[in-house]
Structure 1
Amino acid sequence: MVKLVGKDVGEIGYGLMGLTWRAEPPSQEQSFKAMRAALSHGANAWNGGELYGSPERNSLHLLNEYFTKYPEDAEKIVLSIKGCIVPGQMRPDGSEKGVRRSIDECLRVLDGKKFLDLFECARIDPNTPIETTIGAIAEYVKAGKIGGISLSEVGANTIRKASKVHKISAVEVEFSLWSTDILENGVAQACAELDIPIVAYSPLGRGFLTGQIKSYNDIPEDSMLRHYPRFQPDVFDENLKLVREVEQVASQKGCTPAQIALAWIRAHSGRDGLPVIIPIPGATTEERVSENMAQVTLSQKELAAIDDILQKTTITGMRYPEAAMKLAEL
């Protein structure tokens, strides 16, 4: 077990985004089954967002319903929620007023059915100093209304600035076989120096590393992935080369590509000067949750083979569309 805000969590967590933020979200029944499956496998670090859906229906509303039905699970879960976005828009608001609005709304919707263990701004507000934002969130920690502060999509300098204002309990960044930036841009190093766990979102490359998406046409027409640079028709086949290589490793290992991708992240957690790293794969069915939670361990030989694959493979395209990349410090 590893720890978040001083609480024990599993080596793999669970991302809630897909349960509410898609054109056709799964039913409540299906969502509850997936959530219960995650918890039964020890994935008790749950990650959601006020922005994962609409102001009227997002992660917080689903969580309220879940803990209404399963109140006994509330103490078992370590919950992190992203906010500080202008309601109904993808525009950051890290001002003192924006922080208060966001946290107050999250607490209102949770309605006391689950303590908010971690709160983070989904993106850094370029119009507000990070010190101001962290100071405003810290007031809620001091008041006992939330457990701790996390950061999302931030660079090493922001991590260090924020840490001078208040203890940072986690840093959430994208990290996967096709997004290894944090190993070179100083983020992992800063977190290691400050003893801050990394929460790795999109550890399966938004589903790409599962091997289920074989062509651009496999992406549903209402999926946001159709707008992401790395999924575009002109680069799709080039980026698919990495998946094919991972599939070969998985075949030799007798597991799935997704399990290889998650095992690779776990192999980096707390080793070779790196901080604890907790991947949070999202899944909408209990079957996929169970697949993700399987404990596959890679040998040094297998890790070396994967490193060789990464060195000879070039990923083409940005992680997000250009407008969204402007709000990411990585």
Structure 2
Amino acid sequence: MSTIRAAPITIDGKAVGHVGFGMLGLSIPWAPVDYPVAVNLMKTALDQGANLWNGGIHYGTPQANSLHLLKYYFDKYPEDASRVVLSIKGAYDGKVGPDGSPDGIRASVDEAVKVLGGTKTIDVFECARVDPKVPIETSVKALAELVKEGKIGGIGLSEVSAETIRKSHAIHAISLVEIELSLFTPDPLKNDIADTCRELGIPIAAYCPIGRGLLTGKIRTPDDLEQDDFRRGLPRFQLGVFAQNFKLVEAVERIGKDKGVTTAQVALGWVCRQGAIPIPGSTNLERVAENCNPASLTDGDMAALHNILDTLPISGERYGGVHEKLLNA
């Protein structure tokens, strides 16, 4: 659990920096950011080594989403295209759900390629969720055809079980698995997902590595969230369980203070020690720089964090409702 990945992490032969940079933090569901401001955040992250960029076609509207922001960025900095490892999620509609059919996947990839307009290739394409109506083998075969055609560089998986990873990898090499992994969600370390990825040599991209902002320590009560903040609707932020969940934040804060680092940096350092690539998002320039410098944790730190996880269980589902049923599929 506390083993550092010794070798550099590569995705389809491209080296990935010590921490990825989540495009999620630059558009909805977080506060929208003007493109020039977002570009400054992205440039700062890249210059500090965060070169795994993760976005989604459904992060925004059909007229303004991650792909449009990326095109804007690479029009301004075309020389950065070769520096970035770009992972895009698609084949998903927030209202309808996933579409893992060959036609649905192809339409999603074609749309992404069209919006990027040749400014940047898609290094990895992920179906944002597994479509329960379509066998995973069918979806992966469709993605493999798109790799063969040169429309995408590799295949990623998002929110999948260990069994799905093995089934998929048997059909075509999987370049990346994206899962929620943090001190608030250490589940992949217990349900064979992380072990399977290590066995097969598949890099893990850890989304929400700071527990949707809880591990910044800035959110100390649910009332610290704006009224329209979507996190108010998530089970772990509800008044009835928040106090229990915040005990973990306070415990991690103490470790951070002892080391002279922030709570978020401890959280990111923990993810790195799992051999995963954290992909935090932020609309704050200072926070972006902070996120690019995870804490260096000792074996003693890791043991203390392991004890915290054992003694302070987290209450509440990750998403709740219909969205919860699509996790670890």
TM normalised by structure 1 equals 0.95
Partner residue of 1:65? 72
SS in 2 for 1:80: strand
Which residue of 41, 49, 54 maps to 1:47?
54
Distance 1:185 1:23, change over 3 A: closer
Letter in 1 for 2:203: P
CA distance in 1, matches of 2:263, 2:123: 32
Aligned to 2:82: 75
2:5 alignment partner in structure 1: none
Q: Which deviations, in whole Å up to 9, do the C-alpha atoms of 1:22-71 show, x marking residues without a partner? A: 36401112111110011010000100000111111110000011111111
CA distance in 2, matches of 1:39, 1:260: 21
Shift of 1:216: 0.5
Gapped regions of structure 2 (runs ≥ 5): 1-7
Distance 2:176 2:127 in 1: 12
Q: Secondary structure at the match of 2:268?
A: helix
Equivalence for 1:283: 282
Q: The residue matched to 1:173 in structure 2 has which SS?
A: strand
Query: What is the aligned length?
Result: 322
Partner of 1:30: 37
List runs of 5+ in structure 1 lacking aligned partners. Answer: 270-276
Contact between 1:153 and 1:172, CA under 8 Å: does it hold in 2? yes
Which residue of the partner structure matches residue 239 of structure 2? Answer: 233
The residue that corresponds to 2:293 in the other structure is 294
In 2 relative to 1, CA 263–312 (structure 1 residues): closer, same or farther, beyond 3 Å?
same
Contact 1:23 1:222 in 2 (8 A): no
The answer to whether structure 1 residue 175 and structure 2 residue 187 are counterparts is no
Alpha-carbon shift at residue 90 of structure 1 (Å):
4.8
Runs of 4+ aligned structure 1 residues displaced above 2 Å come to: none
SS in 2 for 1:116: coil
CA contact (8 A) 1:30 1:285 kept: no
Residue 11 of structure 1, CA deviation: 1.6
Q: Distance in 2 between matches of 1:166 and 1:39?
A: 30
AA aligned opposite 1:30: V
Q: Of residues 120, 123, 130 in structure 2, which corresponds to 1:117?
A: 123
2:157 partner SS: strand
Match of 2:4 in 1: none
1:7 aligns with 2:14: yes
Deviations 1:243-290 (A, max 9, x none): 000011111110100000011111221xxxxxxx11111111221110
Residue 307 of structure 2: aligned partner: 308
1:19 matched residue in structure 2: 26
Please give the TM-score of this superposition, normalised by the length of structure 2.
0.96
Q: In 2, Cα distance between the equivalents of 1:143 and 1:194? A: 25
Matches within 5 A, 1:261-272: 261-269=267-275
CA distance in 2, matches of 1:5, 1:322: 36
What is the match of residue 273 of structure 1? none
Which residue in 2 is equivalent to 1:322? Answer: 321
1:114-263 aligned at under 5 Å gives the runs 114-263=120-269
Distance 1:23 1:301, change over 3 A: closer
**Letter of the structure 1 residue corresponding to residue 11 of structure 2:** L
Q: Give the aligned residue type for 1:94.
A: G
